[in-house]
């Protein structure tokens, strides 16, 4: 079986820092409430003139440089997002334009907070099947344009931030290089789709996919059953992590670094505690960036590599849970 590897990573977050205190000026919330429930202290919001593709571009350029590659050496672009640049075409096409890519295929993948791992699995399979040699995988979100920055939307609004992360994934034909994406497991449970979603605009809606009433009623903003999501996240993440390790014939102790989706620090602390994973084997950055959905894991991975926390040869387990519901885990030898 052809092996694959993560050859380079990069991330970008906008410069504008928005603290919990800043949000408290816009809605009835407090720094104490947000920190206590989620661990978040601040997040980044895109500037007035920054598009999702702008963020994706910065992350992609950094990942390409880290891999020592040019865009001309990429065979396909996969972009995961839930906050697209436009209804269609996908954000990947605007990234394609910005990168001045040759006529290679690109596509968007919609699997919310598990989106990067779903895209990584797709890239991995494309490469193993021999269809492509090298794929650029990007997770990118501009949540600040989609959340309701008012008391009505506070339960969701305080949790999310903007950012992008990217990875260059390629075939590893060097027998002396142990780097490999060992296993990726993906799951979904569509019956809980409405537990965390944005309803409108939507082509199932009548008489129009968007109306003034829908806007006034806030149906264009994310709605979440927070406790329900929490319960499922702390169950599904350990489940899929153990499933993935077992499929790769690895044990928890073999893993050098655990990267969990950054939705809520309390979720990650709970999961690590239940599984007996030492805190020093986990990396979190939610206190600085909030939940950046599809961008969270690639940002974390890029930061881990840049900080020397995930060097060549180390075994990294990336685990996510999100809207859909979706959950996934990837085990990679760097
Ligand atoms: N500031 C202040 N108060 C807020 C608030 C905010 N930003 N958001 C909600 N509240 C209020 C609610 O109105 C409610 O008030 P009430 O009890 O008077 O009705 C109360 O706080 C709810 O508090 P609590 O029950 O303690 O909330 P919680 O423990 O369920 O925590 C979350 C809320 C959202 C932090 C938590 O449910 C969570 O993290 N869920 C998972 C979210 C997630 O992971 N989402 C993304 C998945 S990818």
Query: In sequence order, which ranges of the chain are alpha helices (DSSP H)?
Result: 20-24, 31-38, 52-67, 91-99, 115-128, 154-157, 212-216, 226-247, 265-275, 286-289, 296-306
Average pLDDT over residues 99-122: 98
Query: Can the peptide bond before residue 288 be classed as cis, meaning omega within 30 degrees of 0?
Result: no
Say yes or no: 200 and 158 in one domain. Answer: no
Which CA distances in Å does 314 have to 75, 173, 305, 333, 334? Answer: 27, 19, 10, 6, 6
> In angstroms, rounded to a whole number, what is the distance separating the alpha carbons of residues 72 and 54?
19
> In angstroms, rounded to a whole number, what is the distance separating the alpha carbons of residues 271 and 180?
26
Q: Is 113 in the pocket of ligand 1 (CB under 6 A)?
A: yes
27, 83, 155: residue to mutate for ligand 1 pocket, most atoms within 8 A of CB = 155
Cα(155) to centroid of ligand 1, in Å? Answer: 5
Say yes or no: 64 and 111 in one domain. Answer: yes
Say yes or no: 201 and 226 in one domain. Answer: yes
> Among residues of the chain, what percentage have pLDDT more than 90?
100
Give the domain-ending residue among 134, 149, 172: 172
Average pLDDT, the chain: 98
Average pLDDT over residues 155-174: 98
123-158 confidence digits (pLDDT tens) = 999 999 999 999 999 999 999 999 999 999 999 999
Say yes or no: 164 and 258 in one domain. Answer: no
Contact residues for 225 (Cβ-Cβ < 8 A; gap 6+): 195, 196
Whether pLDDT at 321 is above 90: yes
Say yes or no: 250 and 164 in one domain. Answer: no
Cα(333) to centroid of ligand 1, in Å? Answer: 37
Average pLDDT over residues 49-74: 98
Average pLDDT over residues 324-333: 98
Q: Is 154 in the pocket of ligand 1 (CB under 6 A)?
A: yes
Say yes or no: 38 and 145 in one domain. Answer: yes
Q: What is the pLDDT of residue 1?
A: 82
pTM of the model: 0.97
Say yes or no: 221 and 321 in one domain. Answer: yes
Q: Is 230 in the pocket of ligand 1 (CB under 6 A)?
A: yes
Say yes or no: 132 and 33 in one domain. Answer: yes
Say yes or no: 205 and 165 in one domain. Answer: no
Number of structural domains (the chain) is 2
CATH number at residue 297: 3.40.47.10
Average pLDDT over residues 228-241: 98
Give the domain-ending residue among 149, 172, 195: 172
Q: Is 332 in the pocket of ligand 1 (CB under 6 A)?
A: no
Whether pLDDT at 89 is above 90: yes
Whether pLDDT at 324 is above 90: yes
10-50 confidence digits (pLDDT tens) = 999 999 999 999 999 999 999 999 999 999 999 999 999 99
> Among residues of the chain, what percentage have pLDDT more than 70?
100
Atom 47 of ligand 1, residue of closest alpha carbon = 322
Say yes or no: 190 and 136 in one domain. Answer: no
Say yes or no: 40 and 113 in one domain. Answer: yes
276-294 confidence digits (pLDDT tens) = 999 999 999 999 999 999 9
* DSSP-derived 3-state class of residue 88: coil
Say yes or no: 227 and 276 in one domain. Answer: yes
């Amino acid at each position: 079986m052809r092996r694959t590897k993560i050859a380079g990573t990069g991330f970008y977050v906008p410069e504008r820092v928005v603290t919990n205190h800043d949000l408290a000026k816009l809605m009835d919330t407090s720094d104490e409430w947000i920190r206590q429930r989620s661990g978040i202290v601040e997040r980044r919001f895109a500037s007035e003139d920054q598009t999702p593709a702008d963020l994706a571009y910065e992350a992609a350029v950094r990942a390409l440089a880290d891999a020592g590659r040019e865009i001309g050496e990429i065979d396909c672009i996969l972009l995961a997002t839930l906050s697209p640049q436009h209804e269609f075409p996908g954000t990947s096409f605007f990234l394609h334009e910005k990168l001045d890519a040759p006529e290679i295929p690109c596509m968007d993948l919609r699997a919310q907070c598990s989106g990067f791992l779903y895209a990584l699995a797709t890239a991995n399979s494309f490469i193993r099947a021999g269809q492509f040699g090298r794929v650029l995988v990007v997770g990118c979100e501009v949540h600040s344009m989609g959340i309701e920055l008012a008391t009505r939307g506070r339960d969701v609004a305080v949790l999310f931030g903007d950012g992008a992360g990217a990875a260059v994934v390629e075939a590893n034909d060097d027998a002396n290089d142990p780097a490999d994406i060992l296993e990726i497991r993906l799951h979904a449970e569509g019956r809980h789709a409405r537990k965390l979603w944005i309803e409108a605009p939507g082509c199932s809606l009548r008489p129009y996919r968007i109306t003034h009433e829908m806007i006034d009623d806030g149906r264009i903003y994310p709605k979440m059953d927070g406790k329900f999501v929490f319960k499922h996240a702390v169950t599904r993440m350990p489940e899929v992590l153990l499933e993935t390790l077992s499929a790769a014939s690895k044990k928890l102790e073999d893993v050098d670094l655990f990267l969990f989706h950054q939705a809520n620090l309390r979720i990650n602390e709970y999961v690590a505690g239940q599984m007996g994973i030492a805190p020093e084997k986990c990396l979190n950055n939610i206190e600085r960036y909030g939940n950046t959905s599809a961008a969270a894991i690639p940002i974390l991975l890029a930061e881990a590599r840049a900080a020397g926390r995930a060097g060549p040869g180390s075994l990294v387990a990336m685990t996510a849970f999100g809207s859909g519901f979706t959950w996934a885990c990837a085990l990679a030898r760097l």
